[in-house]
């Protein structure tokens, strides 16, 4: 309100204004405004400074991404070790089979070794495998015998 308007308003108004009362009202109003301002400032001090919604969302997304990467890394390590364990189990199974075959071969060779002490068995083996003959004997060989030598080797 401008002064001109105020003065015309006072002229038209027949009410009497108490100056002391008006001063007290103004002071009370200003005090209320100061108190409200102090409360707002105190509330700002008490509350931690807040970040924006974007920053909060970004941090949450970053945290989720890191957690997902850690989970994927753990699964990758577990899968790799699982594959390694499976390959080791297969290799162990193959080695067990090979061990059994070698044990059987060893048993057969031990049987042959026991038979090697027998002179008759030794003589039969020499005649068959090395084609040895006794003095005065004649060895006859047929074409079928030659084919057997090649197949045995």
Task: Determine contact, residues 115/121, Cβ cutoff 8 Å.
Answer: yes
Task: Determine contact, residues 131/139, Cβ cutoff 8 Å.
Answer: yes
Q: Is the pLDDT of residue 4 over 80?
A: no
Query: Cα separation of 51 and 42, whole Å?
Result: 19
Cα of 122 vs its chain's centroid, Å? 65
Structural domain boundaries in the chain? 3-110
**What are the contacts of 24-28 at 24+ separation with CB within 8 A?**
none
Q: What is the pLDDT of residues 36-78, one digit of tens each?
A: 999 888 877 766 666 788 888 899 999 999 999 999 999 999 9
Task: Determine contact, residues 109/115, Cβ cutoff 8 Å.
Answer: no
Q: Distance between terminal CA atoms of the chain?
A: 128
Q: Is the pLDDT of residue 153 over 60?
A: no
């Amino acid at each position: 309100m401008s002064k001109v308007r105020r003065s015309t308003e006072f002229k038209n108004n027949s009410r009497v204004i108490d100056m002391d009362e008006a001063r007290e009202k103004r002071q009370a109003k200003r005090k209320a405004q100061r108190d409200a301002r102090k409360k707002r400032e105190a509330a700002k001090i008490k509350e931690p400074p807040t970040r924006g919604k974007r920053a909060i969302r970004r941090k949450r997304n970053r945290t989720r991404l890191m957690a997902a990467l850690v989970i994927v890394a753990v699964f990758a390590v577990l899968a790799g070790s699982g594959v390694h364990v499976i390959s080791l189990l297969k290799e162990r199974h193959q080695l067990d089979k090979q061990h059994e075959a070698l044990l059987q071969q060893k048993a057969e060779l031990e049987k042959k070794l026991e038979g090697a002490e027998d002179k008759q068995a030794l003589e039969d083996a020499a005649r068959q495998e090395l084609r040895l003959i006794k003095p005065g004997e004649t060895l006859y060989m047929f074409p079928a015998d030659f084919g057997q030598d090649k197949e045995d080797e």
